[in-house]
A and B are shown apart, each in its own frame.
Chain A
Amino acid sequence: MYDAIKERVKELLDSGEIKGFLALKNDNGNIKPHLYVSPVETNQLSIGDGETPGGARYPLAKILTILLQNHSGERFGILVRGCDQRALKALAAWNQISPEQVVPIGVACPEERAQACACALPYPDEWLEGEQVEPKDPRPVEWEEKIPLERLEVWRGEFEKCIKCYGCRNICPMCFCKECSLESEDVIAKGEIPPDLPMFHLVRAVHMIGRCVDCGLCEEACPASIPLRALYKKVNNIVETRFQFRSGIDQTEQSPLHKIVEPPAAI
């Protein structure tokens, strides 16, 4: 399986064009991230087909960011789905990685996965495996239909489930700050569970402006099953409406927060 990808990775490793290839590995049925450094290992390469096609996902772009920080000047290959590529582009736009160091090899996600992820862009720019499927509608409309008081009640109930594990932040490819506001005692009181409502979640949401690439990893990771995706999709929709900007589409375009503008007369 995945012969085209394996061949390409072998070529890249053999020629020394890349130092390693970051992808997934099927280890006796367990799928996990792995850095391939030798062509012989590539028979274990996985594109994440677990219990469901494409079901095993990891924040590969985040792992790559750390890898590149420790190997400046060297090039690495990486397996990318649509979401991973958006993350790489956004990380480049935020000057966290340099695209010259990255050789992406794409896979297009199967229908089932795109549906499960409610993914608006389930394929990268180019791919060696899979077929292009229709984007899925990503808008959190069902929330908009509720009246404000109901929304407040529902979100309060959701936020209250938070156990402050930081899983959402830790898995997020776009959470790259050295110091995190969510750990600042000036913002969020220490030792309280649930964390300050709705501060904890709003701080994270505001920090996702111009960053979130809508990969959905946060919601997948949340042990409390908080519908984080709806919150960040809303952030993205607001940013798109107000600033005509979508994170992870064009790696040369800076986020609207980077632009100095005159404060509007009324906000």
Chain B
Amino acid sequence: MTSQRVAVLKDLLEFIGIEGERLNLVWVSSAEGPRFAKEMTEFTEKIRALGPLNWNYQRAVAVGI
């Protein structure tokens, strides 16, 4: 259920103009500490690279993004 929902939500985010990569779904068990750390680090880096959400296009244009 969740995986189908998240898949649709990613497409929907794209539709309203938000990068689908800003949403990530992974299964990590409590026994997989290092894996959890790895996933979190990777995701944080991805979001950092994407930068803040451009909520305001007019402003984004004005400041030259």
Contacts and interface: CB of A to CB of B under 8 A. Distances in A.
A8 interface: no
Interface residues of B, number: 27
Interface in B6-46: 6-19, 25, 27
A212 to B, nearest CB: 12
Contacts of B19: 148
A234 B55 contact: no
Nearest to A256: B4
A165 interface: no
The 10 closest A-B pairs by CB, nearest first: A152-B17, A153-B57, A151-B17, A263-B3, A155-B16, A148-B17, A238-B11, A149-B57, A267-B7, A234-B15
Nearest to B3: A263
Interface of B: 1, 3-19, 25, 27, 53-58, 60
Interface residues of A, number: 33
B10 A267 contact: yes
Question: At the interface, is chain B mostly helix, strand, loop or mixed?
Answer: helix
Question: At the interface, is chain A mostly helix, strand, loop or mixed?
Answer: helix
Given A149-B60, A206-B9, A267 B14 contact: no
Contacts of A263: 3, 25, 27
A198 B56 contact: no
B58 A235 contact: no
Interface in A219-267: 231, 234-235, 238-239, 242-243, 256-261, 263-264, 267
Contacts of B5: 206, 209, 257
A143 interface: yes
A68 interface: no
Contact of A149 (B3, B12, B17): B17
